[in-house]
Amino acid sequence: MAAPMLRGVSPVRRWSLAWVDGGSRHRRTSPNGSTSNRIREQSSVAQQPLHTAQKPRKGGHKWAAVVGLEIHAQISSNSKLFSGSQVSFTAPPNSLVSFFDASLPGTLPVLNRRCVEAAVMTGLALNCRINKKSLFDRKHYFYADLPAGYQITQQRLPIAANGSLSYGVFVGNRWSHMATKTVRIKQIQLEQDSGKSLHDDLRSQTLIDLNRAGVGLLEVVMEPDLSCGEEAAAVVKELQLILQALGTSQANMAEGQLRVDANISVHHPGEPLGIRTEVKNLNSIRFLARAIDHEIQRQINELESGGEILNETRSFDPKLGCTVPMRDKEGKQDYRFMPEPNLPPLVLYDTASLPAGADSQQVINIDQIRDALPELPSATRKRLVQQYGMLPEHSFALLNEAGLLQFFQNVMKETRAEPKKVTSWVLNTLLGYLKHHNLAVSESPITPSALAGLLDLLDSKAISSSAAKQQV
Amino acid sequence: MAARAVWLAFRGGLGRRQAFSTKANVQVKARVAERTSPVTHALRFIPQGSGRITVEVIEHLERLALVDFGSREAVARLEKAVAFADRLREVDTDGVEPMESVLEDRCLYLRSDNVAEGNCAEELLQNSHRVMEEYFVAPPGNISLPKLVNKNPSYTAKW
């Protein structure tokens, strides 16, 4: 069931009408309250009545959950999106901040070429249409870690749109069979990151560090095609692998390089979509799956006992294992989008449209970037299955653990043993050992050569299987 | 007396653009809204709505933009400004591609990805009212608006 996008209003008039005539055009009057993640930003008037879910018919009806993800990935670049300050995770507070990042008057944004290339690469990897012309906008809201009072983003015309991401899920009982599903990508846009605020409750103040302010982000907006926490986890994992393979982002959730917000609602199949809640503060893929499943269950319980779902933002508390309402956001936010007046449209070219004699530093050729794309995880897995005859599940497992694929390939280079045997040893014995001792592949005391040698001995029947296992 | 009358007339003549206050009159006259109307075309003016701005809209705007529409005159000024801008709608723009910005024909310059700025923490922190160990200090949570005591804008001009 496709989620309809309520985008009836043309771009320019969206703002000019926003508050002058009370925003009646943009009120979310549709009962499909949970369809578009973007509608929240287009609606204006603060004093709207909170939408309530319709009372469901009790008894016997199945529930279906609808989950949509919004993912922010920090672009892996040397300098920030619109200024020349360095991008680094650890540095003394406010030392990587330029006058522009601090929003001092008179400073102007200058776009970083590498960030544009990263966005184009990611768009191509996710099968998106790359918009040859994209525009920058300002999204206004007040918060201490946003010195300018607005964030430069691409709301009207993003750099890439209408893509898809294929991912694998286990069907039936665990480890038995993998199926491929697809989630649609609505758009990918470039935007600025905000600074970091550290809350000092003791002295009732907030400390602001602007090192992160202005760092380039890729926002990947997905259609609400997912239905449970497991699917969401698989999608995020796959996106992580893609971004890491492209080199556009290190996508480490723990370090905040990949941030996921989930929009969740439940409804009975065939009936209109329910009210959605937004869940934030998801710091790892495991928490993501748990939080989504918990929120789905909470909504079902609430509705079945006759309650109603509020359109609110909730935060996942890992200690309690449940979602709790976040600080009150003062009703609907009106971001008052306006075109960024200091940036002309971003124009991209392909080989056919490239102007003759153009400065290669100043133009971006989409075809050139497409030709230079590295091998994507899905292609790697296909190759492994073809080359070594392994099961798809194993190819997924090899790629999911950082460094494991390289380890496997190193062993294959040095051993005579059959691929199936190597696969089994790497995935079961070695990985099991590492997990048991809480080690990463890079910390493995067993080197690929050692394992290769061991497998050779096993192959030549010099030692028995159990003895070999003991060695490990 | 005569001199003063002349003086007032002189000031009046100089232009409604200038705010004037005398010992007798401390009201600050609105400046922009009373400027003579700009280029007039032979177009029909189609008023949209009543042009009144409700208290809810004012509160909403004050919250969003953190401005203070303290006086009734300010609200009146706002209404006039909106009416002034409404005249844009008289122009028929069917089938016309909207302009994004006055820069839309220019080339967007692409900077190469190297580090050229930063490392000026001391200078930046000097701008801040309060600083703690190289962090800017801000009030907790979000910037809050003081609660309005009464919903009606006060009668006296605050500025």
Are the beta carbons of A205 and B57 separated by less than 8 Å? no
Of A143, A343, A361, the CB nearest to B108: A343
Query: Which residues in chain A have their CB less than 8 angstroms from residue B112's CB?
Result: 113-114, 361
3-state SS, one letter per residue, for A32-77: CCCCCCCHHHHCCCCCCCCCCCCCCCCCCCCCEEEEEEEEEEECCC
Are the beta carbons of B114 and A209 separated by less than 8 Å? no
Which is more confident, A211 or B29? A211
CA pair distance B151, A118, nearest whole angstrom: 50
Q: Distance between alpha carbon A201 and the CA centroid of its chain, in Å? A: 31
Interface of A with B in 290-309 (CB under 8 A): none
pLDDT tens string, chain B, 159 residues long: the values are 555 554 554 444 444 444 344 444 333 333 333 344 444 444 444 445 567 888 888 888 877 777 777 777 888 888 999 999 999 889 888 898 888 778 888 889 999 999 999 899 999 999 888 899 889 998 776 655 555 444 444 433 333
Compute the half-sphere exposure of residue A188: CA atoms within 13 Å on the CB side of its CA: 33
Are the beta carbons of B136 and A94 separated by less than 8 Å? yes
CA pair distance B120, A328, nearest whole angstrom: 36
Nearest chain A CA: its distance from B24 CA (Å): 38
The answer for A451, left when phi > 0, alpha when psi is -120 to 50, beta otherwise, is alpha
Q: Which two tokens stand for residue A108?
A: 């102007």
Are the beta carbons of B139 and A206 separated by less than 8 Å? yes
- A469 CB-near residues (< 8 Å, 6+ apart): A429
Compare all CA atoms of chain A with the CA of B130 and give the residue at the minimum distance: A207
**Alpha carbon separation from B85 to B25, B45, B82 (Å, rounded):** 31, 12, 5
When pLDDT is cut at 50, 70 and 90, the band that residue A326 belongs to is confident
CA pair distance B157, B159, nearest whole angstrom: 6
Are the beta carbons of A344 and B120 separated by less than 8 Å? no
Are the beta carbons of A113 and B121 separated by less than 8 Å? no
Q: Which of B125, B142, B148, B151 to mutate to test the interface with A (most CBs of A within 10 A)?
A: B142
- B125 CB-near residues (< 8 Å, 6+ apart): A94, B131, B134, B136
* Predicted TM-score of the model (pTM): 0.74
Are the beta carbons of B112 and A19 separated by less than 8 Å? no
Are the beta carbons of B138 and A344 separated by less than 8 Å? no
Interface of A with B in 321-380 (CB under 8 A): 327, 330, 334, 336, 339-347, 361-362, 364
A21-45: buried (b, 16+ CB within 10 Å) or exposed (e) per residue?
ebbebbbbeeebbbbbbebbbbbbb
Residue appearing with tokens 């939080």: A291
Q: Distance between alpha carbon A305 and the CA centroid of its chain, in Å? A: 34
Task: Determine contact: A134 vs chain B, CB below 8 A.
Answer: no
Are the beta carbons of A111 and B109 separated by less than 8 Å? yes
pLDDT at A331: 57
pLDDT at A94: 94
> What confidence tens digit (pLDDT) does each residue in A447-471 have?
888 888 888 877 777 766 666 666 6
Nearest CA among A119, A83, A75, A86 for reference residue A102: A83
Query: Which residues in chain B have their CB less than 8 angstroms from residue A248's CB?
Result: none
Chain A to chain B Cβ contacts (< 8 Å): 162
Angle (CA) A376-A379-A383 rounded to 5° is 135
- A269 CB-near residues (< 8 Å, 6+ apart): A62, A64
Compare all CA atoms of chain A with the CA of B66 and give the residue at the minimum distance: A142
Are the beta carbons of A207 and B137 separated by less than 8 Å? yes
When pLDDT is cut at 50, 70 and 90, the band that residue A328 belongs to is low
Query: Which residues in chain B have their CB less than 8 angstroms from residue A112's CB?
Result: 110-111, 113
The one-letter code for the residue type at A81 is: L
The answer for A60, left when phi > 0, alpha when psi is -120 to 50, beta otherwise, is left
Nearest CA among A250, A459, A13 for reference residue B89: A13
DSSP string, A201-248: TTTTEEEEEGGGTT-EEEEEEE-S-B-SHHHHHHHHHHHHHHHHHHTS
Interface of B with A in 70-99 (CB under 8 A): 82, 86, 98
CB A234 within 8 A of CB A167: yes
Are the beta carbons of A207 and B114 separated by less than 8 Å? no
> What confidence tens digit (pLDDT) does each residue in B119-153 have?
999 999 998 888 998 899 987 766 555 554 444 44
pLDDT at A237: 94
Are the beta carbons of B117 and A114 separated by less than 8 Å? no
Interface of A with B in 172-211 (CB under 8 A): 197-201, 204-210
Q: Which of B50, B99, B108, B143 to mutate to test the interface with A (most CBs of A within 10 A)?
A: B108
